[in-house]
Amino acid sequence: MSRPDGGYVAGYVAPRSDAAVGVWSLREVAQAQRDGLWFSPDPLFSTVTLLLRGHGTNGSTTITDDSSSARSVTASGSAVISTTRAKWGSTSIFVPSGGSISLGASPPNLVGSGNFTIEAWIWNGAAGTLGQLDGNYISIGSGNIIGVFRASSGSGIANPSVNIPSRWVHGCMMRSGNVGYVFLDGTNIGAVAVGAGTNNWTASAFALSCSSGAGIYAQDIRVTPSARYSTAGFTPPLGGLPTR
């Protein structure tokens, strides 16, 4: 007799909210939420163009895209899945100095020319970038997160920054209309006018890269081609991101 998906049989499977509702104790639910195992559907998942949750085997160079696009991700410069730090569950993506994970040049349909949201949980021990350098990216500096929005000419037109502590933080940049926003842990830290009609993402790879320092840990890197959050601020995801 097969065991039902989501049923509790001596810890046989992890709790899921879409099966065996009412079986789990509040303590089990809370632990599953902290570990990113409690399922909560994402109403925008069908439009998500990249989802790198950082799950896998310690030391593996396989970085899986759990979006419906299932893009191929290249790990270089000793970038690996690591058990050293994790926001949810037990692993994250570790990118050391000189390393990167990337999608290759000109990933199709990643953002487009309209609204978008780029977000990730980041443990900052270095300087690096998340995004696309001829487009829009989060610059992760030693002690701060800086969002840089670029016009069609490629010139930087926004540079808000804020100091961040040595812990997991949620970094996000979002375009809504012709305004670009940068958020740290859901708090709006800067907003500027951005170029109309284009995000200029055509010539270089989308990547998480590290240029110096002790390395960058990241989980739940997600790209959505829409303005996912309120421009006034928002509560960051309270568990691992869903895959549907």
Tokens 């790879």 identify what position?
A: 205
Task: Categorize the per-residue pLDDT at 119 as very low, low, confident or very high, splitting at 50, 70 and 90.
Answer: very high
Q: What is the mean pLDDT of residues 196-202?
A: 66
- Rounded to 5 degrees, what are φ and ψ at 212? -165, 170
Task: Categorize the per-residue pLDDT at 9 as very low, low, confident or very high, splitting at 50, 70 and 90.
Answer: very low
Which of 69-78, 158-167, 174-183 is predicted least confidently? 158-167
Model confidence at 11: pLDDT above 80: no
* 79-114 pLDDT tens trace: 999 999 999 889 999 999 999 999 865 566 688 778
Domain ranges of the chain: 1-39, 42-224
Own/partner pairs for 32-40, CB < 8 Å, 24+ apart? Answer: 33/238, 33/239, 34/88, 34/239, 35/88, 35/89, 35/239, 35/240, 36/87, 36/88, 36/89, 36/239, 36/240, 36/241, 37/89, 37/239, 37/240, 38/239, 39/242, 40/239, 40/242
Q: What is the mean pLDDT of residues 147-159?
A: 59
* 12-61 pLDDT tens trace: 344 444 444 456 677 776 776 666 566 578 999 999 999 999 999 999 99
* CATH assignment, 42-224: 2.60.120.200
